Structure 1
Amino acid sequence: MIELGISQAQTQFTKILTEEVTIVDKKNKVKKAVILPYEVYAKLVEKALIREDYLEGSFSKFKGTLSKEFTTNDEKYNDIVNDGLN
């Protein structure tokens, strides 16, 4: 995956649309965004729709947001996540 600063990503935007890219705020050392080719994105979404995969498969490595034990009072989050679990 390519890692670019924000200004680099802006100047090279059309070139990086076919790459997996992480956009980083280099001054604050914070990852700001990820650009994925549509094919990669579509595969991730397809895998996420399979409940077993995101509870125990490759998606389970993302602690917190996909953990069965994670709870929050954020209504938007709960609407999105709980619809996928029911």
Structure 2
Amino acid sequence: MLELGVAQAQSNFTKLLTKSVLIVDKKTHHKKAVMLPYAEYKKLLLSNKQDLNFGSFSQYKGILDDDFQTDDEKYKVIVK
């Protein structure tokens, strides 16, 4: 994967659309973004797609649970 600074990525944007690119802030060395060609993105999605009725996510409980209660007034106004 090609690694570029933010300024380099901005100036070469149209040339980068066909490449996998990691954009890094050169001063702080923080990873800022990843660009993937659509075909690679689609392949990645299809290979990692799973049925949400199975696996650990299907056991999730919390704010989505019907029995969830809170005294947060802002939450109550939003959710009703």
Give the TM-score of the pair, scaled to structure 2: 0.62
RMSD: 2.5
Could you tell me how far apart the structure 2 residues matched to 1:74 and 1:9 are?
40
Residues 14-36 of structure 1: per-residue CA shift (max 9 Å, x gap): 00000000000010000100000
Q: 1:50 deviation in Å?
A: 3.1
**Structure of larger gyration radius:** 2
Unaligned runs of 5+ in 2: 65-80
| Displaced runs of 4 or more, over 3 A | none
Could you tell me how far apart the structure 2 residues matched to 1:74 and 1:28 are?
36
Letter in 2 for 1:46: L
The structure carrying a bigger helix percent of its residues is 1
Letter in 2 for 1:12: N
Q: 1:47 deviation in Å?
A: 1.2
Q: Which residue in the other structure is 2:78 paired with?
A: none
For the pair 1:14 / 2:5, whether they are aligned, the reply is no
Q: 1:74 to 1:24 in 2, by over 3 A?
A: farther
Q: Which residue in the other structure is 1:3 paired with?
A: 3
Unaligned runs of 5+ in 1: 56-67, 76-86
Letter in 2 for 1:10: Q
Percent identical: 49
> Structure 2 matches for 1:70-81, cutoff 5 A?
none
Classify the secondary structure of the residue corresponding to 1:15: helix
Q: Which residue in the other structure is 2:72 paired with?
A: none
Letter in 2 for 1:23: I
Q: Which residue in the other structure is 1:45 paired with?
A: 45
Give the TM-score of the pair, scaled to structure 1: 0.58
